Amino acid sequence: MLKAKKMRIDVVSLHKKLEIILKMLVDTQMISNYRSVFRGRGLEFEDFRDYTLGDDSSMIDWKTSARAMKLLIKMFKEERELDVYILLDTSSSMIFGSTEKLKMEYAAEVAATFAFMITEAGDRAGLTMFTDKPVKVVPLSVGKKHFQIIMNYLVKPEFYGGDFDLQKILEFTMSISKKKGLMIIISDFIGLKKGWERALKLASVKFDVIGVMVRDPRDEYLPSEDLGQFVLQDPYTDASLLINPKKISEEYGKAAKNETAAIRKTFMKCNADLVKLTTEKSFMKPLIEYFIMRRSRTWR
């Protein structure tokens, strides 16, 4: 359990990162087309509106525009306001790091990035920090003030540490949501309990689900050189095991690879996306690449 540790999140630096991300989003038309990107197919048509500079031309209804003698774009009900639930894993396995940042610090910055982008787009963002239960729930709202509220909770150490149960938090989120929306799950997905697959499948019916897997390099592999013996500790039970990394590094790496593949397969079966990030690299480039891929897939 995390005690009186101060989160190493540099708020000023984070805001600078966010400014860079937003510029990249603008350059790729992601801000102006944010709603279309994340709503996908099957939207309920509501009305037409005039085409304006900055709109994506692929959204123009050419037949209707020809009859009206002006460019018109289809509007969908969800365009007015999208509910986005950010679920942030704050369990004990996230309090680990072999790089500059702990997984929990890295994940908090990812959560802040999403919250900033969502609120800037005028959509409603909600945050649930969870372990095997909701630890802190920030209700859906909009605006810069709301983003700052989310930021303030993300950097509080008392909300980090505990067991992990993804199924319970998925069921909780479904119980408090009043309409369809977007669900973003940020976690290392370590310690998944039986039943999480069914819960994800049910959540994917109601939500457009994006999983963001945050892993430390040591979650993926152990040193192959001879460094002597080390003690591994279970983040949830405190049980320990004396190991020689060199002797088990190959088997450990294979097990980690298979685990990631199994999780990705489950997300695919549920028609949900999974983005993998590692703490030794910036998350900005992979997220931007995912947004562009998602946009291309949605509009093709």
Going along the chain from its start, the domains and CATH numbers come out as 11-27+85-213+273-299 (3.40.50.410), 40-78 (no CATH)
d(CA 294, CA 40): 9
**pLDDT at residue 93, as a whole number:** 95
User: Which of 9, 109, 84, 24 is closest to 295 using CA atoms?
Assistant: 24
Q: Confidence class of residue 10 from pLDDT cuts 50, 70 and 90?
A: low
- Average pLDDT for residues 16-20, to the nearest whole number? 67
Q: Confidence class of residue 4 from pLDDT cuts 50, 70 and 90?
A: very low
Pairing of strands 45-50, 72-76: antiparallel
d(CA 176, CA 170): 10
Q: Measure CA of the first residue to CA of the last residue in the chain; give whole Å.
A: 47
H/E segment holding residue 233: strand 230-233
Pairing of strands 72-76, 134-141: unpaired
Q: Is the pTM of this model over 0.85?
A: no
Q: Confidence class of residue 6 from pLDDT cuts 50, 70 and 90?
A: low
Most confident of 47-56, 129-138, 144-153, 279-288: 129-138
Q: pLDDT by residue (tens digit) across 112-127?
A: 888 988 888 788 999 9
Which amino acid, residue 163? Answer: D
Which amino acid, residue 219? Answer: D
Which amino acid, residue 54? Answer: G
**pLDDT at residue 113, as a whole number:** 86
- Average pLDDT for residues 282-289, to the nearest whole number? 85
Q: pLDDT by residue (tens digit) across 164-218?
A: 999 999 999 999 998 888 999 999 999 999 999 999 999 999 999 999 999 999 9
Which amino acid, residue 145? Answer: K
Which value, in Å, is the radius of gyration of the alpha carbons in the chain? 21
Residue with more model confidence, 133 or 222: 133
DSSP SS3 for 4: coil
Q: How many CB atoms lie within 10 A of CB 141?
A: 14
- Average pLDDT for residues 134-142, to the nearest whole number? 97
Residue with more model confidence, 270 or 101: 270
Query: Which one-letter DSSP state was computed for residue 77?
Result: G
